[in-house]
Amino acid sequence: MIHWQPITEHISQTLNISLQLSNHLSVGGGSINSCYQITGTDGQEFFVKLNSIALESMFQVEFDALNELSQALSNTDSAIRVPEPICFGHTDNNSYLVLEYLPLDARGNHQAFGIALAKMHQITAKQHGWYQNNVIGSTPQSNAQHPDWLTFWREQRLLPQFNMLYDKGHKRRLQPLADILLEQLSTILDNHQPVPSLLHGDLWSGNYAFQTANQPVLFDPALYYGDRETDMAMTELFGGFSADFYQAYQATWPLDEGYQQRKTLYNLYHILNHANLFGSSYLNQAISMIEKLCKSDF
């Protein structure tokens, strides 16, 4: 049972309004959270994510990530918008995150989106990572900062995923290949020293849309600063974005030579995470990707 009263009271206190709940409508929100569009008697609308009390910290880091994206984007001419985070907390039954409600459409100007994402990636930091850890899906994601990209990708991305799979009983099958791959990282990433770009971190087709004025909107970030190619690689992982999107991105800030080889390494992280979240079918895919990387001539 959902206790809406403490949530509406928190919204009221945060925004200094009087919110009386008129309606709540369950909406799609992926496989991790339960999501609702709520409406007040005065017509106010909000988007609410719910999960177990134990996962309140997941909502806290998403709240911080949306603030970081919003503040960083406000200082650029990137057209990307993110929903404004309102508040987060917990009731007796659930943790919650309340966001601005934005009417969204899957249709929009993909060329404008490509340009806007390239400009977002031009927002940079001094080191790879972020000042706090977060999650990818519901998996803990370490963002311990490091000036060297290869070290960051090995220590904060690949190794934690491998170790979680080892703990799930896949060590004998996976570790020999993983060890070879980790030894070859210096070859795969040879002389590739990207600037730490502001990243969405989980950029598949389910995490963007458009407002009615064709403005691209990003949500559900797994934010950190790192190689922009990781965002671009993930756009290709589950079916790909439109040709207009890629052409516009490349025209605005062309990807570095060797991206076509590195994208398999970057997408391996997400497939390993899916193996940890959803099981062995993704493990088979991950092993195939590792074998491909180990046999490639970089």
The answer to whether the CB of 148 falls within 8 A of the CB of 186 is no
Residue 272 pLDDT class (50, 70, 90 cuts): very high
Considering the domain architecture, whether residues 25 and 57 belong to the same structural domain is answered as yes
**What pLDDT was estimated at residue 28?**
74
Q: Model-level pTM?
A: 0.95
Considering the domain architecture, whether residues 134 and 216 belong to the same structural domain is answered as yes
- State which of 72, 100, 128 marks the end of a domain: 100
- State which of 61, 79, 100 marks the end of a domain: 100
CA 230 – CA 286 distance, rounded (Å):
16
- Token pair listed for 193: 């020293």
Residue 224: other Cβ atoms inside 10 A: 30
Angle at CA 145, nearest 5°, toward 139 and 150?
A: 85
Predicted confidence (pLDDT) at residue 7 exceeds the cutoff of 60 = yes
Q: What is the pLDDT of residues 53-86, one digit of tens each?
A: 999 999 999 999 999 999 999 988 889 999 999 9
Predicted confidence (pLDDT) at residue 239 exceeds the cutoff of 90 = no
Residue 177: other Cβ atoms inside 10 A: 17
> What distance, in Å, lies between the first and last C-alpha atoms of the chain?
55
**What pLDDT was estimated at residue 189?**
95
- State which of 73, 100, 127 marks the end of a domain: 100
CA 236 – CA 250 distance, rounded (Å):
14
Q: What mean pLDDT is predicted for residues 263-269?
A: 98
Number of domains in the chain: 2
CA 164 – CA 12 distance, rounded (Å):
41
Q: What mean pLDDT is predicted for residues 36-43?
A: 95
Predicted confidence (pLDDT) at residue 269 exceeds the cutoff of 60 = yes
Predicted confidence (pLDDT) at residue 297 exceeds the cutoff of 80 = no
**What pLDDT was estimated at residue 156?**
98
Residue 281 pLDDT class (50, 70, 90 cuts): confident
Of 70, 122, 104, 65, give the one whose Cα is nearest residue 88: 65
- Token pair listed for 256: 């570095």
Considering the domain architecture, whether residues 55 and 138 belong to the same structural domain is answered as no
Query: Does 105 reside within a domain?
Result: no
Q: What mean pLDDT is predicted for residues 238-266?
A: 95
Residue 163: other Cβ atoms inside 10 A: 14
Of 58, 63, 56, give the one whose Cα is nearest residue 84: 63
Considering the domain architecture, whether residues 184 and 214 belong to the same structural domain is answered as yes
Contacts of 102 (CB under 8 A, 6+ apart): 47, 81, 83, 211, 217
Predicted confidence (pLDDT) at residue 29 exceeds the cutoff of 70 = no
Q: What is the pLDDT of residues 86-111, one digit of tens each?
A: 999 999 999 999 999 999 998 999 99
CATH number of the CATH domain containing 271: 3.90.1200.10
SS3 assignment, position 262: helix
H or E element in which residue 41 lies: none
CA 192 – CA 230 distance, rounded (Å):
13
CA 158 – CA 286 distance, rounded (Å):
11
Considering the domain architecture, whether residues 64 and 148 belong to the same structural domain is answered as no
Residue 298 pLDDT class (50, 70, 90 cuts): low
SS3 assignment, position 298: coil
Considering the domain architecture, whether residues 12 and 134 belong to the same structural domain is answered as no
CA distances from 241 to 9, 56, 139, 232 (A): 40, 32, 25, 10
Considering the domain architecture, whether residues 114 and 85 belong to the same structural domain is answered as no
Q: What is the pLDDT of residues 178-234, one digit of tens each?
A: 999 999 999 999 989 999 999 999 999 999 999 977 899 999 999 999 999 999 999
Domain that residue 25 falls in: 4-100
Query: Does 224 reside within a domain?
Result: yes
Considering the domain architecture, whether residues 56 and 78 belong to the same structural domain is answered as yes
**Annotated catalytic residue within 42, 92, 190, 202:** 202
Whether residue 202 lies in the annotated active site: yes
Considering the domain architecture, whether residues 118 and 26 belong to the same structural domain is answered as no
Predicted confidence (pLDDT) at residue 14 exceeds the cutoff of 70 = yes
